[in-house]
Structure 1
């Protein structure tokens, strides 16, 4: 739901009634993962998507019905020979949808307003909602902040609320949307409740080192993929906002020195385009020791061999060297800066999603990787 937070925040501030359909579970080759959402307001306006088009019409009708009766509805859409081209998923998977009405005078409005504001402003927060359990608890939600404080309730059970907040905070710390199994009294029980925990997190960082024409193209692709993009170069004549107008930040500093003082995390991607040993070696020596998502360096195979030798001489371990993607990007036959940026972005996405980078034609691999269902055992 938080992927459409900007529009939902506007509807909330305008006092609109609306219904939100959220993917709460998937099976097989489902096109969208848990948290994907579609919403319909009282005027019939639609935003978002839950299936890439397969079942949108049926989900729209569920949202309209929820607006009329004020009830939370759960529905499973799946594949069968009879209805594959009706409302079922022609891709062969299943998706479980929960549709929740949000009315201007509803009790859940305050919690929703808070979490939408957090998502709109980029503040970290977690929204935990009941997606399986007693009918009177479906859709109940708590908003959890990084310090463990929370607002809202899963039906007035304080122990359950505290347990849900603890588990949601753990998932917020880990940076993963997923599900949690709880019992109504807060202890682990397979027949109890299921919570979907969705996260509001600041955009992940992409740091591009080297203010060259390839960097300008990569900045545009990085922004398109939702990254907060920084360009860093030690040469002030090249590292200017005028040359990189779409970058969130342009830094004039030695790359390794900037990397030492800036914040990174497990979602950060580092793209080294400096292509100069006096910049590359100190920078990569630092980068390969950080727990970041991706480290790639531009250069030919010969450049890579020289770079690899120099890094070994600097004491970089064999294990850390295996993390270096060099030459950077996938083999697309890229020539232009834009094509090269696409090949780099493709490699980043493949590593993030567990892709192989091989053509899908003739491949037996599933198109949509199944998302590991995170089930946390809660204790009383």
Structure 2
């Protein structure tokens, strides 16, 4: 839902009643990930997408039903196969495989929730409106909603919202008591720290509600964009800035030489800084979402910088240079006291092997490695492979999408592990 925050915030301010259908679980090669949403207002206007077009019509009607009844509803959409006759000539077939199925072969679980002041849902609307206002203004918060459990019938808990702020304060409630809210808020803060949206199981016993079973909640995170820190104001940096912005990073370029570190040379950067790289990084406090790209390939710049970076919790640290430069750099870093474990975090030479030569091609190579690092990809060609295309998915024919047990158990801000079945399709 929060991916539509700007428009939905305006709908709230205009007093519109609407319903939002949100992807809460995916399996196989699904087109959209959890958090993707489609909204429908009382006048029939639609906004967003949950599938890229495959099941939009059915989800639209699900939203209309939720608006009319005031009750949340869930639906699972899978592959629809029209089973054409292989001997028949090309042309239309009976039925419409796009109406209710995913032609990509995946599955998605969708939750449709009314956001209205009718049917006694005014408090829920106020919580959702606050979450949308926070996300629309670029603020940090997590919206938690019950999507399954306890048991097979979540009843009145389904869709209830809880807004969790970075300082731990909350608004709203999941309807299962204070213990459930506290457990959900703890999981939400862990996912918020990583800027992730995911379904997690929370609570057992009293916290889990009826039957002592866990409750599954969807945590949608609204957080500032991850940072890309590019050190070295060179031609390669200009291309990487453009690629970083395309991927949604907030990009900073830093170089110790003021004549090169100018906004005129990097107009697409969010920030251009003239400072010694290691001194700049020391003031940045990189976190588990920060990427550091060192393009200077000059020992007086990159060794002090990497000595500092490799001891900070950045998500990605890469350095440009030849293999000979890399070997010399490692030797210098060892003499500076870095351990083999710390050095193992360094991706150098930077980027994936694409045969890149131009700055633009090199930027694509680096961006590809950034994406692979973010999602746990191998960087290998998909052709002829057997691993899932989407690493958070379960394979077709499996038990279906399952939530992670705990974001906190996965290492706080770290990426929660994929289900065990995802590793062996």
TM-score for the superposition, normalised by structure 1: 0.91
2:188 to 144, 162, 168: 168
Deviations 1:224-246 (A, max 9, x none): 11111111111111111222122
2:70 is equivalent to residue 50 of structure 1: no
Alpha carbons of 1:194 and 1:252: their partners in 2 closer, same or farther (altered >3 Å)?
same
- Are 2:137 and 1:121 equivalent residues in the alignment? yes
| SS of aligned partner of 1:211 | coil
Change (3 A) 1:209 1:314: same
2:340 is aligned, of 305, 315, 318, to 318
**2:111 corresponds to:** 98
2:291 maps to 1:279: no
Aligned residue for 1:289, secondary structure, equals coil
Is the alpha carbon distance of 1:190 and 1:57 closer, same or farther for their aligned partners in structure 2, counting shifts above 3 Å? farther
Structure 1: state its 5+ residue gaps: none
What corresponds to 2:245 in structure 1? 223
Q: After TM superposition, list the pairs within 5 Å mapping 1:282-361 onto structure 2.
A: 282-361=304-383
The question of 1:255 aligning with 2:277 is answered yes
What secondary structure sits across from 1:62 in the alignment? helix
Q: Which residue of 1 aligns with 2:292?
A: 270
SS of residue in 2 equivalent to 1:198: strand
Offset of residue 307 of structure 1: 1.7
1:17 paired residue number: 17
Aligned match of 2:388 in 366, 375, 378?
366
CA shift, 1:375, in A, is 1.8
Paired residues of 2:294 and 2:320 also in contact (CA < 8 A): yes
Are the counterparts in 2 of residues 123 and 201 from structure 1 also a CA contact under 8 Å?
yes
- The unaligned stretches of length 5 or more in structure 2 are 84-95, 394-401, 409-425
2:376, 2:51 → 1: CA distance? Answer: 21
Summarize the alignment of residues 140-219 of structure 1 with structure 2, pairs less than 5 Å apart.
140-155=160-175, 157-173=177-193, 175-178=195-198, 179-182=200-203, 185-187=206-208, 191-219=213-241
Change (3 A) 1:103 1:348: same
Deviation (angstroms), 1:156: 7.2
Gap change, CA 1:377 and 1:267, over 3 Å in 2: closer
SS at the partner of 1:304? helix
Give, in whole Å, the separation in 2 of the partners of 1:167 and 1:360: 33
CA distance in 2 between partners of 1:347 and 1:359 (Å)? 13
Write the distance in 1 (CA, Å) between the matches of 2:58 and 2:41: 16
The separation in 1 between residues aligned to 2:229 and 2:289, in whole angstroms, is 11
CA contact (8 A) 2:21 2:111 kept: yes
Q: SS at the partner of 1:373?
A: coil
Aligned 8 A contact 2:351 2:366 in 1: yes
Q: Shift in Å at residue 288 of structure 1?
A: 1.1
- Establish whether residue 30 from structure 1 lines up as the match of residue 51 from structure 2: no
Task: Answer yes or no: is the 8 Å Cα contact 1:299–1:327 preserved in 2.
Answer: yes
Report how far residue 118 of structure 1 moved: 1.7
> Does structure 2 conserve the Cα–Cα contact (< 8 Å) formed by 1:208 and 1:273?
yes
Distance 1:312 1:159, change over 3 A: closer
User: What is the match of residue 147 of structure 2?
Assistant: 131
| Distance in 2 (alpha carbons) for counterparts of 1:317 and 1:213 | 32
SS class of match (1:370): coil
Q: Describe the shift of the 1:184–1:116 C-alpha distance in structure 2 as closer, same or farther (beyond 3 A).
A: farther
Q: Is the 8 A contact 2:318 2:346 kept in 1?
A: yes
